[in-house]
Amino acid sequence: RKEVEQDPGPFNVPEGATVAFNCTYSNSASQSFFWYRQDCRKEPKLLMSVYSSGNEDGRFTAQLNRASQYISLLIRDSKLSDSATYLCVVNLSPGYSSASKIIFGSGTRLSIRP
């Protein structure tokens, strides 16, 4: 079983729609969680961190459920520029002073159509 699993997509939605991505992780000791965005043939870039209390950045909302080992990303009022691959990322670092083993999910591809 992969340590981080995501909806494979692709998601193809109209501009203005709300879209949600899900991600599950297998290691209950995982320390921190993120969503990254990757445009075609480019390097990934951090979209937002994910906290148990939930966090919001404009049209983007991320949520973590530690009990279910589940992470979500919600995009409201989607724009054409949101078309990209969204990567769920989990930090398996065992402790503060140890190396961070940072694992990516396989990504969910999103296409926004006019």
Partner 1 sequence: NAGVTQTPKFQVLKTGQSMTLQCAQDMNHNSMYWYRQDPGMGLRLIYYSASEGTTDKGEVPNGYNVSRLNKREFSLRLESAAPSQTSVYFCASSEAFFRGGEKLFFGSGTQLSVL
Residues near partner 1 (CB under 8 A): 3-4, 6, 31-34, 36, 42-46, 49, 51, 87, 89, 91, 93, 98-107
Closest contact distance (angstroms) between CB of 56 and partner 1 is 15
Q: Spell out the alpha helix ranges (H) of the chain.
A: none
Cα angle, residue 69 at apex, residues 14 and 3 outer, rounded to 5°: 90
Closest contact distance (angstroms) between CB of 60 and partner 1 is 16
Closest contact distance (angstroms) between CB of 63 and partner 1 is 15
Residue with smaller CB distance to partner 1, 4 or 84 = 4
Strands 60-65, 55-57: pairing is: antiparallel
Collapsing DSSP states into helix, strand and coil, what is residue 68?
Answer: coil
